[in-house]
Amino acid sequence: MQYLTKMVLTLSLFFGIHFVYANEIYDKNERGVVLIMGDNGFGSGVILSQKGYVLTNSHVISDNPNLKVLLNYNYPLDNIEDYSHDVIILKQDQSKDLALLKIKNPKTLLHTVKVSKKIPNIGDKVHAIGHPQSAIWTYTVGYISQIREDFEWTYEDGIERIANVYQTQTPIDEGNSGGPLLNSYGNLIGINTFKNEETSFHNFSLSVDEIISFLSK
């Protein structure tokens, strides 16, 4: 085991590779993930800027008045209101299921998640942080099992959506929507969006190219 560890470290130094372990990925990004709450439901979001810009799914905020975001700052909480903030909706694209929010007057320095410029491949290990079934700040891990271009789906609202998505084996559930899908460097490569209710192996995240395109408009 010691020999294997030394060999990995030697290869890392020689090729300039930086290996990031799962606990590092979580520790690096947990504070960049928010809980989005409204009168009609909740979901996840990811902080992209210290100015308070938060990316999420449009279905998390649609028909969900009185939106607030809860920051993760390692409670104890004497008052949860000290960690929750009002937000404004800057823009959304329901056809791609993306929305950009802004936190109003954050009371503390915000941690951010870096958007990757690298397109992932089938078989890449990926990581998710979110709030499945209200189990807040839950970490899960899996692999990209397929990359699907112009994938079509609908929700109960009947709006037809089409976007490039990653199909993953990373477990997600209600409450994960809008949260980050991360690569093994801990950078954002997708937004966890929906799952096939009939199997835990077909989970879908909006791709990083869709994220970059949405943010650039």
State the catalytic residue, choosing from 59, 85, 127, 131. Answer: 59
Q: Is residue 150 annotated as a catalytic residue, yes or no? A: no
State the catalytic residue, choosing from 44, 116, 177, 184. Answer: 177
State the catalytic residue, choosing from 44, 58, 62, 97. Answer: 97
Would you say 177 and 192 are in contact if contact means Cβ atoms under 8 Å apart?
yes
Q: Is residue 111 annotated as a catalytic residue, yes or no? A: no
How far apart, in Å, are the Cα atoms of 214 and each of 77, 123, 144, 185?
A: 35, 26, 22, 23
Q: Is residue 85 annotated as a catalytic residue, yes or no? A: no
CA count, 13 A, side-chain hemisphere, 133 = 3
Phi, psi for 26 (deg, rounded to 5): -65, -50
> Which amino acid, one-letter code, is at 90?
L
Phi, psi for 123 (deg, rounded to 5): 95, -10
Q: Which residues are catalytic?
A: 59, 97, 177
